[in-house]
């Protein structure tokens, strides 16, 4: 896939981010079915989001980004996911790629990725399936990756690499393998396609391969390393905080759309004595409880990340309890979204079964999003171990 030439400058401040995205919503919605067919976002949608500065919303202001508050980020990503699950997922992948590049990479990398305050998209896959070896002031890297979300228009490709020395993984102070996140130029990455999936089909999350090459150390971030990030509290909450905000925001927006589609269907579907399904007490009970669960998930997300942001901004410690809440609030948002998706899909009978149904698309997108390792079952189990006081249990954040 050829990279997008779009590198629009970012807005100078964060005012009106949600309003900008909401104004684009109908256009994003109208393109969603076609984007599924081509398995990536259309140039029109990518261009509109780029022009609005959305992709650089997590980037530090120091390098021309929005550096938005966590509550703004949650709302914007949720709004995108409301109009199209794939658009919300694609955008949050590029946003988090930009935050890593702007906040955690060295000066040489920042000059290349943010020339003149413009953001050349960064996205890919941070899972450490690649290998890196130190060579002077550079690393020799190689690797093969799946699920490169946001990569169709990215000029810099994110990859996770386990550091090796003399053919063996290097271990950190805690005995864990040292993991680097590196950004390689697109022209030195081979895209392999293979995005043939059930949900989130418009994200273009293609497989890719990084052939063996040398890349300067400035293009790498040691996730457990001491480098002080550029920017403020947003980047001091914990390295996993921004991916958690991203995934949780997606879940909230997609679930909200599913609720709206469920209600729309119920109002139009004749049931007993020709009355619409929305007048049945069983629907009213189920819909009320689903709405309450979604509001509770949103409140948990926003309270958690506001608390983390405030602590990071004031220089207070990020406690184990805060870290646990960060992971658990995110997983909880996806769990609630999947429950709502299942309830709405089941209630829609053959309507949801048919291709072209919005209920079906959101059912698929939400379940695809819930398969991600960040929010999958093991994340909840790890949190439960900590809550239960199991010796040696920890939550990675």
Check whether 8 has a pLDDT greater than 70. no
- Output phi, psi for 179, to 5 deg: -110, 130
pLDDT tens-digit map of 195-208: 999 999 999 999 99
DSSP code of 6?
A: -
1 confidence band (pLDDT: 50, 70, 90): very low
What DSSP assignment string belongs to 145-191?
EEEETT-TT-SEEEEEEEEEETTEEPB-TTSPBPEEEEEEEGGG-EE
> Thinking of the domain 236-387, which architecture would CATH place it in?
Up-down Bundle (1.20)
**Helix 85-104 vs helix 241-268: crossing angle, to nearest 10:** 170
Radius of gyration of the chain (CA): 21
**What pLDDT shows up at residue 266?**
95
Q: Give the pLDDT confidence of 179-199 residue by residue, as tens digits.
A: 999 999 999 999 998 899 999
d(CA 163, CA 320): 27
Choosing among 2.170.190.11, 1.10.238.10, 2.40.110.10, 1.10.3720.10, the CATH entry for 124-222 is: 2.40.110.10
Share of the chain above pLDDT 70, in %: 96
What would the pLDDT profile of 207-242 be if each residue is shown by its tens digit? 999 999 999 999 999 988 767 789 999 999 998 999
Predicted confidence band of residue 271 (pLDDT cuts 50, 70, 90): confident
Q: What is the mean pLDDT of the chain?
A: 92
Res 371 pLDDT > 50? yes
CB 79 within 8 A of CB 25: yes
CATH homologous superfamily, domain 17-117: Acyl-CoA dehydrogenase/oxidase, N-terminal domain (1.10.540.10)
What is the residue extent of each domain of the chain?
17-117, 124-222, 236-387
13 band by pLDDT with thresholds 50, 70 and 90: very low
Which of 15, 13, 200 lies closest to 92 in space, CA to CA?
Answer: 200
Residue 284 vs residue 272, higher pLDDT? 284
Q: Is the pLDDT of residue 6 over 50?
A: no
Distance from C-alpha of 89 to C-alpha of 362, rounded to nearest angstrom: 12
Whether the per-residue pLDDT at 15 is higher than 80: the answer is: no
Which pTM does this prediction carry? 0.93
| pLDDT for the residue numbered 226 | 65
Whole-angstrom Cα distance, residue 206 to residue 331?
A: 24
Q: How does pLDDT run across 319-358, given as a tens digit for each residue?
A: 999 999 999 999 999 999 999 999 999 999 888 888 889 9
Tens of pLDDT, residues 87-118: 999 999 999 999 999 999 999 999 999 998 78
155-179 pLDDT, tens digit per residue, is: 999 999 999 999 899 998 878 899 9
Q: Which residues contact 37 (CB under 8 A, 6 or more apart)?
A: none
Reply yes or no on whether the pLDDT at 384 is more than 90: yes
Task: Supply the pLDDT for residue 57.
Answer: 95
pLDDT at 191: 96
Average pLDDT over residues 68-88: 97
| Torsion sign, CA atoms 79, 82, 84, 88 | positive
**Half-sphere exposure (Cβ direction) of 138: Cα atoms closer than 13 Å:** 9
High-pLDDT (> 90) share of the chain, %: 83
Examine the pLDDT at 14 and tell me if it is beyond 70.
no
Whole-angstrom distance, CA of residue 106 vs CA of residue 103: 9
Dist. CA 375–CA 332, nearest whole Å: 8
Whether residue 25 has pLDDT greater than 90: yes
Question: How do residues 125-151 score in pLDDT, each as one tens digit?
Answer: 999 999 999 999 999 999 999 999 999
72 within 8 A of 18, measured Cβ to Cβ: yes
Burial of 206 (0-12, 13-18, 19+ CB in 10 A): buried
pLDDT at 229: 86
Three-state DSSP state, 296:
helix
């Amino acid at each position: 896939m050829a990279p997008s030439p779009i590198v629009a400058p970012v807005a100078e401040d964060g005012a009106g981010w949600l309003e900008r995205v909401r104004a684009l919503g109908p256009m994003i919605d109208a393109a969603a079915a076609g984007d599924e067919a081509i398995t990536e976002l259309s140039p029109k949608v990518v261009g509109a989001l780029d022009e609005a500065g959305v992709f650089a919303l997590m980037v530090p202001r120091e390098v021309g980004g929005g550096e938005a508050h966590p509550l703004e980020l949650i709302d914007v990503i949720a709004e995108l996911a409301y109009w199209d699950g794939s658009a919300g997922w694609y955008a949050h992948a590029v946003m988090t790629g930009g935050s890593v590049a702007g906040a955690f990479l060295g000066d040489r990398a920042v000059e290349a990725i943010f020339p003149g305050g413009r953001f050349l998209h960064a996205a890919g896959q941070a899972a450490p399936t690649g290998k890196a070896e130190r060579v002077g002031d550079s690393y020799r890297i190689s690797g093969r990756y799946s699920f490169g979300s946001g990569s169709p228009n990215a000029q810099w490709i994110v990859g996770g690499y386990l550091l090796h020395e003399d053919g063996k993984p290097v271990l950190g102070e805690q005995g864990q393998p040292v993991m680097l996140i590196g950004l390689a130029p697109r022209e030195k990455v081979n895209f392999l396609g293979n995005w043939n999936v059930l949900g989130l089909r418009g994200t273009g999350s293609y497989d890719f391969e990084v052939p063996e090459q040398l890349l300067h150390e400035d293009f790498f971030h040691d996730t457990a390393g001491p480098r002080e990030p550029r920017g403020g509290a947003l980047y001091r909450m914990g390295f996993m905080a921004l991916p958690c905000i991203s995934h949780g925001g997606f879940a909230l927006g997609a679930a909200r759309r599913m609720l709206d589609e469920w209600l729309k269907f119920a109002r139009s579907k004749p049931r007993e004595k020709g009355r619409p399904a929305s007048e049945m007490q069983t629907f009213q009970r189920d819909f009320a409880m689903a709405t309450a669960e979604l509001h509770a998930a949103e409140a948990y997300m926003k309270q958690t990340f506001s608390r983390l942001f405030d602590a990071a901004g004031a220089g207070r410690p990020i406690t184990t309890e805060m870290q646990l809440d960060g992971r658990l609030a995110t997983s909880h948002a996806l769990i609630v979204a999947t429950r709502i998706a299942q309830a709405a899909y089941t209630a829609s009978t053959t309507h949801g079964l048919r291709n072209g149904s919005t209920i079906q698309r959101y059912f698929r997108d939400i379940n695809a999003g819930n398969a991600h390792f960040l929010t999958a079952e093991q994340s909840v189990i790890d949190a439960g171990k900590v809550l239960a006081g199991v010796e040696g249990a920890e939550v990675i954040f």
